[in-house]
A and B are shown apart, each in its own frame.
Chain A
Amino acid sequence: MSTLHTVNKSPFERSAFISALNHLGPGDALLMIEDGVVGARKASAFAGLLEKTAKNFSVYVLGPDLAARGMAEKDVIQGARLVDYGGFVDLVTEHDRTQAWL
């Protein structure tokens, strides 16, 4: 029984990212979408925290949102995987429920 957590807000703007990390349970995954992708940027203020999270949980970033903000796979923290909208759909069906940290 696992949960897919989506975060669509920049951690520089809102607490959604930190709240999501604080509520991850065994087997859960984190997907960063929309402005949430800025939290996955390597060497950012949140990179260390997310890298640590990625050791215990699956961390995904929505590629189209990353590209729209001028970034690519090389720009995100180690351990984060890129997905497209189809991959987003797969993550939803692979987990028992979805929690949107709005």
Chain B
Amino acid sequence: MADVKPPEIASNIKKKLMYVNRKAPYGTIYALESLEVVLISAAFEQDVSLAFLDDGVYQLMKGQNTSGIGMKNFSPTFKALGDYEIKKLYVEKESLDERGLKPDDLMEISYEDEDEGFAKKPSVRIVNRSELTQIMAQQDVLLNF
């Protein structure tokens, strides 16, 4: 994973940045390099969220085992996102359905809610297509990988 560097600009800009993930991991590098930017953006204190749709939902699958393909399994990093204050991982329900997947097939990813005694709360939110469309329409910037 890339080093998280402190912000290079002093700024009071706070934007809603959404990282849109539509590709399965490992077949291409997009999933990994998207995650690397996500981690960096945490240092800039932006309102960050991630969307997983189409084959992107496979990025969150439980039990990823890459030992047979000689690549690093980066899926545990998603579980660390809560420590970076990244708490909104939207997963499109229709994309799961189309692929024969269920929410239970995905990793459990949580964050600690400071306002409620650091109670563990789920970061993954299953939303339907029209909800995701509306959430996307509320963003300032969409970063597509």
Q: Do chains A and B touch in the complex (CB under 8 A)?
A: yes
Which B residue sits closest to A102, measured CB to CB?
B144
Which A residue sits closest to B143, measured CB to CB?
A100
Q: A15-B54, A19-B53 known; A24 and B133 CB under 8 Å?
A: yes
Size class of the B contact interface (CB-based, 8 Å): 10 to 19
Within 8 A of B (CB), among A28-55: 28
A16 to B22 CA separation, bound complex (whole angstroms):
9
B136 near A23: Cβ-Cβ < 8 Å: yes
Which residues from B are CB-within-8-Å of A97? 139-142
User: What 0/1 readout, one digit per residue, does chain A (80-102) give for beta carbons within 8 Å of chain B?
Assistant: 00000000000000000111111
User: What 0/1 readout, one digit per residue, does chain B (104-132) give for beta carbons within 8 Å of chain A?
Assistant: 00000000000000000000000001001
Q: Counting CB contacts under 8 A, is B13 at the interface?
A: no
B137 near A1: Cβ-Cβ < 8 Å: yes
Question: Measured between C-beta atoms, what is the minimum distance from A58 to chain B in Å?
Answer: 16
| Contacts between chains A and B (CB distance < 8 A), count | 40
Which residues from A are CB-within-8-Å of B20? 99
Which residues from B are CB-within-8-Å of A100? 142, 144
B133 near A25: Cβ-Cβ < 8 Å: yes
Chain A residue total in the interface (Cβ 8 A): 17
Question: Measured between C-beta atoms, what is the minimum distance from A24 to chain B in Å?
Answer: 7
Which B residue sits closest to A15, measured CB to CB?
B54
A15 to B54 CA separation, bound complex (whole angstroms):
8
B144 near A99: Cβ-Cβ < 8 Å: yes
Question: Measured between C-beta atoms, what is the minimum distance from A8 to chain B in Å?
Answer: 11
Which residues from B are CB-within-8-Å of A101? 22, 144
B22 near A98: Cβ-Cβ < 8 Å: no
Question: Measured between C-beta atoms, what is the minimum distance from B113 to chain A in Å?
Answer: 29
A16 to B54 CA separation, bound complex (whole angstroms):
9
A99 to B145 CA separation, bound complex (whole angstroms):
11
The contact sample of 25 A-B pairs, CB cut-off 8 A, is: A1-B137, A1-B138, A2-B137, A3-B137, A16-B22, A19-B22, A22-B94, A22-B133, A23-B129, A23-B132, A23-B133, A23-B136, A25-B133, A25-B136, A28-B137, A97-B141, A97-B142, A99-B136, A99-B144, A100-B142, A100-B144, A101-B144, A102-B22, A102-B144, A102-B145
Interfacial residues, chain B to chain A (CB-CB below 8 A): 20, 22, 53-54, 94, 129, 132-134, 136-142, 144-145
